[in-house]
Structures are given as structure tokens and as C-alpha cells.
Structure 1
């Protein structure tokens, strides 16, 4: 409930404090007195989009403060908690604006944005009029209104949950299909690559091990070449042959010249004998060393072949040799996914089908609930329209099949026919101004039954009606105010007379400045105001008597 509204330096208002009360609050005044300004200021503090030139001329800052009572469980509490603001039993909204258009807003002393204000306003205030009603005249909102009337929130939550599950199942299946198409496009590559890699079977770190072994074997080859040269140098064709020739020649010389040399060649021959023995030992050692080097003469070829194969495969797939194992695992995983795709796709299609069936089953239950509620709403509307002098009008809530989605499988529209046999159509196209006002009021009475904690504002909803019809409108407003706070801006004395609380809006010139003021009326002032509404500027005794009769009726 809106407890108070404080306005400073906004439009034609310099200072205004309005204390509102439960029940039917009535605002009256001459045309142009500033009643719409009051609604503009309330809309401003609630974050509604409106006019830009809000600051009173000559003022540095405009400000509006709205204080609301929040009963336990009020819908605004969830909005506040989501914004990180502690919900209390009182909510104070404050918003300021400079002449340059800079705006700031607070909710219980916490800085907030206009979007949060608008989200809060959805739970705090409803504004209704002939041409500005977004909820009742806009067919896009009719389904939600019928659901509120039907009490379908629990079932609707199940439908939304089922649709979310269906959407997930559909996305999973579509993602799998897309992935499968990609795999099929590279199937030949996958099978060939996995076959090559499996045949090669590279191991992590193998490239480094092979490279070290190759270098060692290459060095051994050079050693072998040097040792082979040494063997050749010591062979009978080399040093051994030369030594044997020298030994043979010396022995012949010693034998033939024994008388001459007298044993002087014995020492050289002995040395040659020792040299031959040492040479034989050297040859034996070299042969033993060559046996070690020649353990596997083809190993270098095998090592190089393996090393070059691994590096070629790495270059082919643009990875490092050590990553070939991971590549093999990835390619095999993709190939396994391809081979198991039919089984996986069947499971995903079954899951989607099951989710769709569950969603459609809940949609059918929701359709049944809406259809039953639509019939009740039509009956309730018929009962409400009769006292409003529209007993011949026909109101219908149409529930038509629609594409299944998170809100069910129905489209809902409120239609009317103002006379029996006349074609039905949307509210704002079929009904005249006065008829539209009564349709909206009747519909609001039906839809808000049992609602509490809401402030409803009716801006000249009685326009175009008078006499007994206006009295009927006023009585319906009063009935509506039994369960919710109602603020009505009216020019009808019949409606004004039924208010529980009455304020008069006036325009005055003070110090050559035009200002709008609002005054709470006592019993006598209220009689005079209703009399003015009956007779005009000249209030007669007859008008006062008529006013008293309306108020006391």
C-alpha cells in the first residue's frame, strides 16, 4: 500500500506531502488543475518512462519520495533480495532529477537504477485508464492475467521446467548431430591416421632416446673406420709384412756374415722378435675391440629409420613428437564416437521424445485448467457487467491452440461483443470510451479478488459515463477498495461521493508563479466539492443537498 507521496520542485508543485490511506482514495479538481502531474510524479519515482521536463522552473533539483507498506510475503521482497537489499516492512523509494536531466534513485537508502524501480513497481502499483492500460488492453498480457485468475502458478512452473528439460534435450541432440556430421566428413582421415599411428606406436620421450642412440652409433662408426685403418696398417700388407721382411733379411745377413758381425745382429733380431710379438698383441686387442663395435652393425640404420618415421609423422600432424601419443588418443576417441554414434543418437532422440511427451502432457493439463478458469472468468464478468448497465454485452476469454513453449500451448485473448449477435473483437477496438471503462473496471474487479498489498490507480476511468452508470462504477471501485488500496482521479460526482478519503487538486498563482496544490477535505469541504462537481462554480443549496444525498447513499 502507498502510505505517502512527497513531491518537491516538480512541474507545477513546489512542496507537497500526500498521506494516503487504505480503501478508496478520491482526487478531484477542475480540468488542468494538476491531477495528471501527481500521476507523472508517482510514475517518475517508480521508474516509468514519461516526460523529460520534470523540474519546476527556477529550481535546482526535483525530488519525489514514495513510502510503501510491505506486508509479509509481498512480491516486492523477492525483487529487493535479488538486488541485495534487505526487505523490511516499509519501502522508501526516492528519486531526484536535475534540470539537465541527470537522475538518481534510492531504495531504502541504497542506490538503485530505473530498471529495479520498474521491477518493484510491478508489485506495488497498477495504473489503469482508457488508453494507457498495458495489462488489460494488451493481448500479450492476457494469458498471464488468466493464469493469475486460475491460480496456475504451480502447474505453470512445472510446464516451464519441462520445457527447459525439452530444450536441453533438443540442444544435446542437435549438438550431437552437428558433431556427427563433422566426424563423418573426416571419417576417412580418422581411420587412415589412427591406422598409421597405431602401426607406428610412438611412445612419449622416444624421440629424445633415439636421437641420443643415433649420435652414439654415428660416433661408433667413425671409431670403427679409424680402427680399420689401424688394422690395415698393422696387417701383413702393412707393418707386419715390413717387419717380417726386415727380420728375414737380417737373419740372412747374420747367417752369411757371421764371421764379420761376430753376433752384433743378435740384439736387433731379438728386438724384431719382440716387436713382432707386440705387434701380434696389438692386432689381437684391436680385433677384440672390433668385435665389440660389430655386435649389431645394422642398429644405426634401424634407429635412424625409426627416428625419421616419428619426426615425419609429427610434421604431418603439426605436433611435437612427444604429442603423437595424445594425438592418437584424441583421434581414436573421435573414431570411437563415430563408431558409437548410431547408439548415442538413438539414446538422445529417445530422451528428447520423452521430454517432449512430458512437456505436452503438462501443457494439456494447463490448457484444461485455463479453459475451466476462462469459463469462470466469463461468468464472473457477466455478473459484474450487469450492475454497470452492460447486461447485454458479452465478454469471452478465448483459449486457442498455440505453439507449445515455456508458457504452455495456448494463446489467450479477451474479446467483447457489446450487443447480442454483434461480432466480437478486442477490447480496445469494439468498445466505446464509456464501455471500455466499464469493461476494464469489471475485469479488474474479477482479476484482483483476493489480492492484497497492491495500490491501483484509475485515471478518469469513469469518463464517458454518468448518472446511474457512474454510480455503478463508483460502487465497483469501492468494492475493489475493500481488498486493495484504490486511488481514483475522477470528474464524476457519483464516484467522488463514494470515496473513503477525498483530496482536491487546485491550481493557484502565488507570487506570480502558477502552482498546483492538493488539500485533504473534511466532511463539510467534501460536500462543497461534490456540489461543485454537480453544479459548477456556483454552488447552490440544491447542489449541496444533492451532494449530501450522494455521499450518504
Structure 2
């Protein structure tokens, strides 16, 4: 239930604070007095669309704050959204709207916590339901009518709708996979040819060792310098092991050094470790000499092998230019495209298999949609009888109403096209509601529809914006009684011009425009502030003020006959309320 509404700089409202009560809350006033602005403010607080026009001229910021009573389900939902509870009894929703040079910005808060549009949508669904004659367009929209019927159908129907949505998502994925495969078949074949060629080329190159190119480079250097290596190895051999010239080799010098140290050790054993070092050095030098000699003897020119190495180096460089730039990267690319080629050749992803998969998922979607249609047909029959029962007291005793459900291609919402058909005159065929219902009939239909919904789901606060436009007399009285009936289960806010409706109110507000002088000579955004129009709201909390307002609604002035009529309305409303509670 909406407890309090605080508004600042919203349209024609500068400052306003309203306290609402349980039951039927009515807003009356002259046409254009600003009654709908208050409902627009409630809508804005709950995340409704706004434009720069909602910000009061001469200001750059508007604010709306609405305080609602809380309940256990709402408190649990807020906890799920990680929003702290202020207390167990209330929740505060606010929205700040600011204007910039190029656009407007708004920030919404729940209990002081910044929230996004999705959370605000969840709050709105749990707190308020707004009904206006503008919903005539919605009544003609199959999607909106379908949502209303599904809501009326209850949890079992909504659960089946969720199954249909899941099934449709699965089918859609299979369908898109098939279409993607069909449209990309040419590209797939081209890619298949390319990868096949590349795999064959890289496979033929027999790539296995990332360092092969460096190793081949070293081998090429050796083969190109065989003679030089032979000559140098022989020089090393002579220097270390056996010199053909008079100059002694290093091995001979170390032998002489060993003999001398051996004699010295006989006189001083401390030199023994030096003797051992010389002996080790001599052994190492002699071993190097033997190995370098064997190395030199083993060297021989091999033009054929050199040619093979050169060809292999050129082959690997070509591979690197195409798939590298390094041999390591070329090998990695080879390994990757082998996997890609396997996927392209995967028989499980053939068009035929994808077609079979799509067909199977479509059959499951069709089955789920058929079950949803059955539940909708059951809900439609129930809604038809209930809605007719609600319309009869609204001076529509001969009305006929049928929910037409026609087959359509399955979507996430099922396979039904739903239309409300209607006939208010005997002998006239059922036709789409929006094509044959008058304004007054549409008002009563919407009211009856909300009355049906209230029997299966308590909305909390129901808002009706001039739902009684275009009716009078007996019909207006029936609407008043229906609104009062709804207010026994829900808080009802109603903007009305009908004295019959206003008389039934538990809480009555009069809305009017006033001209004020905020500050002589002051200007804001080139607006002369000497005189400004503002919306003011008066709570009519005593019998005299209510009687005066009802007289104004009935007769346009407080004449004696209008006052008498107003008194009769208040008495009639009081008797009706007493009759309901006896």
C-alpha cells in the first residue's frame, strides 16, 4: 500500500506531500488541474519513462519519493537483491531526475540504495498496477492480451510458459546452427581445401625439431670448411701432442716438467700436489691431441650432403615465411590446423545431422506449446465466465465475451494468437474488442478485467486514471460500487470526474491550480517568476468540504440543488458501505 508521496519540481508541482490511506482514495478537480500529474509522478518513481518536460520550468532537478508498506514476500525479494530493509513495515523508493545541456539523467534508489531499471521493474510489479483508458491500445495487442491471460492462469500456466521458453531457446540454437552451417557451406569448403593443402604441405615437411634450422646451419658451416678444419685440427695436434718441427709439443714440455717436479718431491713432499696437477694436465693434453687427430682424420668433403642441407634449409625457411615466422610457430600452427581440419570433417556436424537435430527440438517445442495452449484454453474459459459476471453489474447484462485463441508459429511465448472478442448487443456477432467497444464500454471492460485479476492476485495498490470517462448515471454508480469492492482487497487510487465515484471514497483529495508570486522580479531560465502556476492538493477530511466538492462536480457551482444532490450521494455511499458489511 502507498503510504506517502513526496514530489519536488515535477511538472507544475513545486512541493507536494500526500498521505494516502487504505481503501478507495479519490482525486478530483477541474479538467487540467493536475490530477494526472500526481499519477505520472507515481509512475516515474517506479521507473516509468520520463522526458525533460517533467522537470519544472526554471529548475534543473525533479525528485519523487514514494513510501509503501512492506510485507514478508517483498522483504524476502529485497534481501535477494542485496537491499537492506529500513524496517519491517515500509520501503522507500525515490527517483531523482536532472537536466543537462543535451539530455536528462535519472537515478533510482530503494531504501537509499542505487538500483537499475531491472530491479525497479521488479518493484513495480510487486507494488502497483496502473489502469487507464490509454490501455485501449494494449487491449488490441495480442502480446499484451496473452500476458494478461497467462497472469490470470496462475502458477501452473506460467511454469508451462517457462518450459516453452526454454524449449524455444534450445530449438532456436539448433535452428541458428543449421542456418549458419547452410550459409557458410561455401566458406567451409574453401577453408577445408585450404587447410587440407596446408596440412599436407606441413606434413610433407616432416617438422619435429624446433631447433632443426639452427642445427642445419651449423652442419652447413662444417661442410663448407672441411679443409680449413682439417688443417687447423692438425696444427692443434702438433701443438699439443707431436710436433714435426724442432719446437717441442705441449705434451713433451709437460713431460719434462713432470720429471723435474718428480725429482723435487724427493726433497720436499709439499710439492706433491703440483706434481699431480702437471700429470693431470699432461694426460688431458695427450687426450685432446688424440681426439683432435681423430677428428681431423674423420673429416672429408661431402658435396652431396652439403646440397641436401642447403635444400632442407631453404625448405624450412619457406615454411617459416608462410607459417612462422619461426620454426617453433610453424610447428604450433601445424598442430592447430590439424584440429580445425578434423572439426570441418566431423560427420556429427553435417547438415543432415543438424537438420535432424532441429526437427527433434521443434517437435519438443510443439508439444510444449500444445500443452500451454490447453492451459490457456482452460484459463480463457474461466476468465470468460468471470468477466461476464463482473460486467453484468456494470449495466452490461447482455454482453458476450470470448477469448479467441488461434494457432500461430511457435515462439518463446507459445504458438497462440490471442484476441479478446466482444459483443454488447444481442444478435451482434463477436468481434475484436477494440473495434466495437465504445469508450464507456472499454472503461467498464478494463475495470472488470482488473476485478478478475484481483481475485487471483492481490496487487497491493491499484491506480485508475479516469477509468469512468464516458459514462454517467446508473453506469457511473456501478463503477463506483465496483471500485469500492476492489478497495476491500486492495488500496485503490482513482482520478475521477464522477461525483458518484467520488462519494464512495474513503479518502478524498481535491486538486487545483493556483497562481503564486514566489519573488518579485526574479527570473529563472528567462522565465518571469513574478507569477507562477503550481498544483495544490487539499485533503477533504470533513463532511462539509466533501459536500462542496461533490456539488461542484455535479452542478458546477454550490447551488442548493447541487448541495442536496451531494448530500444524497454521501448518504447513498454510506448506506452501500453499511450494506456490504452487514
TM-score if structure 1 supplies the norm length?
0.78
Which residue number in structure 2 is paired with residue 322 of structure 1? Answer: 328
Q: Structure 1 residues 344-353 or 158-167, which shifts more? A: 344-353
How much has 1:12 moved relative to structure 2? 4.5
1:550 corresponds to 2:572: yes
Which residue number in structure 2 is paired with residue 194 of structure 1? Answer: 199
How much has 1:67 moved relative to structure 2? 0.8
> Do 1:451 and 1:483's aligned partners in 2 also have CA atoms closer than 8 Å?
no
Which residue number in structure 2 is paired with residue 270 of structure 1? Answer: none
Change (3 A) 1:494 1:411: same
Change (3 A) 1:221 1:340: farther
Equivalent in 508, 530, 536 of residue 550 of structure 2 = 530
> Do 1:71 and 1:453's aligned partners in 2 also have CA atoms closer than 8 Å?
no
Distance in 1, Cα, partners of 2:345 & 2:48: 59
Change (3 A) 1:462 1:226: closer
Which residue number in structure 1 is paired with residue 84 of structure 2? Answer: 86
> Do 1:531 and 1:544's aligned partners in 2 also have CA atoms closer than 8 Å?
yes
* Count of aligned pairs between the two proteins: 495
Distance in 2, Cα, partners of 1:317 & 1:289: 39
1:69 corresponds to 2:89: no
1:121 corresponds to 2:113: no
Distance in 1, Cα, partners of 2:42 & 2:472: 28
Unaligned runs of 5+ in 1: 229-285
Q: Structure 1 residues 309-318 or 111-120, which shifts more? A: 111-120
What SS does the corresponding residue of 1:387 show, helix, strand or coil?
Answer: helix
Which residue number in structure 2 is paired with residue 163 of structure 1? Answer: 168
How much has 1:297 moved relative to structure 2? 6.1
Which residue number in structure 2 is paired with residue 45 of structure 1? Answer: 45
What SS does the corresponding residue of 2:6 show, helix, strand or coil?
Answer: strand
Change (3 A) 1:154 1:220: same
Q: Deviations over 1:454-490 (max 9, x none)?
A: 3221122112212221111112112222222111111
How much has 1:129 moved relative to structure 2? 2.1
TM-score if structure 2 supplies the norm length?
0.74
Change (3 A) 1:344 1:205: farther
Change (3 A) 1:87 1:142: farther
1:518 corresponds to 2:521: no
Unaligned runs of 5+ in 2: 235-291, 518-530, 577-582
Q: Deviations over 1:406-461 (max 9, x none)?
A: 11111222232232343544433321111111111111211232322432211221
Equivalent in 408, 419, 426 of residue 420 of structure 1 = 426
Q: Deviations over 1:183-206 (max 9, x none)?
A: 422444444443333333122221
How much has 1:296 moved relative to structure 2? 5.8
Distance in 2, Cα, partners of 1:172 & 1:431: 46
> Do 2:52 and 2:99's aligned partners in 1 also have CA atoms closer than 8 Å?
no
Which residue number in structure 2 is paired with residue 142 of structure 1? Answer: 145
What is the aligned-residue RMSD (CA, Å)? 3.6
Change (3 A) 1:356 1:523: same
> Do 1:53 and 1:99's aligned partners in 2 also have CA atoms closer than 8 Å?
no
1:108 corresponds to 2:130: no
Distance in 2, Cα, partners of 1:96 & 1:288: 94
Equivalent in 468, 479, 497 of residue 503 of structure 2 = 497
Q: Deviations over 1:239-288 (max 9, x none)?
A: xxxxxxxxxxxxxxxxxxxxxxxxxxxxxxxxxxxxxxxxxxxxxxx998
How much has 1:362 moved relative to structure 2? 0.8
Superposition pairs for residues 177-326 of structure 1, below 5 Å? 181-203=186-208, 204-223=210-229, 291-294=297-300, 298-317=304-323, 319-326=325-332
